[in-house]
Amino acid sequence: MSGSAASRGSALTGLRVQLRVLGALTLRELGTRFGRDNLGYLWLFVEPALLGGAIGAVHHLSGHGLPGGLHVATFWVMGYIPYYLLRGIINRAPVAIVSNQSLLYHRNISIFDIILARDLLEGAAVGGAMLAFALFFGMTAGEWPREPEKVVIGMLMMLGFSHGVAMLIAAGSVYTELFDRVVHLFTYISLPATGAFFMVFWLPTELQQAALWIPTVHMFEIVRNGQFGNQVPTHYDVGYVLGWVAGLNLLGMAAIRRARQDLVI
Amino acid sequence: MIRITDLCKVYKTHLGPKTVLNGLSAEFRHGEKVGILGRNGAGKTTLLRLISGVEGYTSGRIERRMSVSWPLGFAGAMHYSISGADNARFIARIYGKPLDWTVGFVEDFAELGEYYRLPVRTYSSGMMMRLGFALSLAVDFDCYLVDEVIAVGDSRFGERCRVALAERHANSTLLLVSHQVATVRAFCSSAAVLQDGRLTRYDDLDEAIAAYHAA
């Protein structure tokens, strides 16, 4: 009995230490990434917002309409921002361990904490930009998200998915530089397939089936469902996405656990 | 107490596996000040890394029954793109120490002057070493793992480190690795020799030094 009480106590202590470490890592990451010059922490939101805004503006000005009469700039921005989250997290994954290696001198900091802190910060940044755009399109074009909770859920799924992939890439980077070399290329050429800029209902039926194998396609569709409601048909399967997220995260955690053993600091 | 049983460490290299520690066993008790002597490449630094938990080992077992510092050397444990003061804040958060006290303590002990507010990457290696040592003293470990550094730093700071460690001597344990006999004499009360991947303890310092010279 005392044994179980003690282990419960130590699990709680462990959780407290982990939360403390996560908080410290996030603050430090904030400081090192955005520093204290010019706009400082504001860059956190401004960076994704600028890119998203540019994409939205280009398509708004080009004047091409969209199937279902969707608001053009909203469509592109609401596709680009979640993609920015995916790309930002995955592109930065190969150096996640190397650039924080000196922190692993502290036994209570794990690779998991380091990557999670980075990804949560990225998620918060992109989430902030998303919120800003939702307000902007709501106020200027009356394009308020019909079901905001679905936008949030879609973004959270994207965060969980990217985090799982990032852990696998970070672990692999302990063994080979290959990931660092190809990951940018991969995120770049996979852009058309992720589902950021097309909707499933635009595709012929057989292509729809193929596209729905890609987990990110579902996430973008969820976000669009949240933004545009039933103005256009959306296709997604929440269970399928959760399966991917859970699988990738479990594999990722196992991989970084193994990599930690082999890591030479 | 730290108990090491049958510790092996094999590094994978381009030239095949390289065994650094091979069935090493040892026990370090509370309050002991042990010098670990070994030639360059004997695996001294590797041993400290494994004891501290910075790196994993191939086989064997390390039991830590006290809090163990990170290996104190020139590198590691801090972030180079932020200032010494920010590092102190970070360490305070990680180890649950009061922020202001830690920042003040490290500032006093490391004596970095205005560099304390500048990024660590602008520091000289001596300054980095002082910061690292001050950070670890602020955390207040039971056991300090020291990698040659005190000897290399300027002698005044070396003396202050010695005093700081001696002040806690009832509780604090010191494992100091070095290839210099003089350093071990200055800081330790007993010694061990690391050779061929194994550690041989000697209760008598002179005996250890004689064995080290003979090896």
pLDDT of residue A1: 38
User: For residue range A150-193, what is the model confidence (pLDDT) as tens digits?
Assistant: 999 999 999 999 999 999 999 999 999 999 999 999 999 999 99
Is A23 within 8 Å of B93 when comparing Cβ atoms? yes
Residue A120: strand pairing partners: none
Residue-number span of the structural domain to which B82 is assigned: 77-139
Q: Is residue B6 part of a domain?
A: no
Of all residues in chain A, the one with the smallest CA distance to B136 is: A106
Q: How far is CA A198 from CA A133, B149, B152, in A?
A: 20, 59, 62
**Residue with tokens 């419960």, as numbered in its chain:** A8
Provide the pLDDT confidence category of residue B126 given band limits of 50, 70 and 90: confident
A-chain residues within 8 Å CB-CB of B77?
102-103, 105-106
Indicate whether B149 belongs to any domain.
Answer: no
d(CA B69, CA B67): 7
Domains in chain B, number: 1
B8-60 pLDDT tens trace: 999 988 898 999 999 999 999 988 889 999 988 889 989 999 999 999 999 99
Residue A3 has pLDDT above 60, yes or no: no
pLDDT of residue A36: 61
User: Looking at per-residue confidence, does B142 or A4 come out higher?
Assistant: B142
B124 in a structural domain = yes
The sign of the torsion formed by the CA atoms of B86, B91, B96, B102 equals negative
- Which comes out higher in pLDDT, residue B100 or A52? B100
Over residues B115-126, the mean pLDDT reads 90
Structure pTM?
0.88
- Mark yes or no for CB contact B95/A27 under 8 Å: no
Whether B21 is in a domain gets the answer: no
Touching A: B residues 10-29, CB under 8 Å: 11-12
Show residues of chain A in contact with B95, CB under 8 Å.
106, 108
Taking CA–CA distances from B132, the nearest residue in chain A reads: A105
Can you tell me the distance from the alpha carbon of B124 to that of A236, in angstroms, rounded to the nearest whole number? 57
Chain A environment of B80 (Cβ under 8 Å): 102
B101 occurs within a structural domain: yes
* B contact test, residue of A19, A20, A105, A261 with most B CBs within 10 A: A105
B94: in domain: yes
Q: Does B56 touch chain A (CB under 8 A)?
A: yes
Q: Residue B82 is nearest to which of A17, A28, A262, comparing CB atoms?
A: A28
Q: Is residue B130 part of a domain?
A: yes
Distance, in angstroms, between B16 CA and closest chain A CA? 15
Give CA separation, B109 vs A172, B29, B71, B131, in Å. 40, 27, 18, 8
Examine the pLDDT at A38 and tell me if it is beyond 90.
no
Instruction: Tell me the pLDDT tens digit for each residue of A206-243.
Output: 999 999 999 999 999 999 999 999 999 999 999 999 99
Q: Does B56 contact A265 at a Cβ distance shorter than 8 Å?
A: no
Q: Is the per-residue pLDDT at A20 higher than 50? A: yes
In a domain, B51, yes or no: no
Whether A32 and B81 lie within 8 Å, measured CB to CB: yes
Q: Is A33 within 8 Å of chain B by CB?
A: no
For chain A, the distance separating the N- and C-terminal CA atoms, rounded to the nearest angstrom, is 41
ipTM of the complex model? 0.85
Q: Summarize the confidence of residues A8-35 as an average pLDDT.
A: 82
Task: Say if the Cβ atoms of A105 and B76 lie within 8 Å.
Answer: yes
- Confirm or reject contact between A106 and chain B (CB < 8 A): yes
Number of C-beta neighbours around residue A2 at 10 A = 6
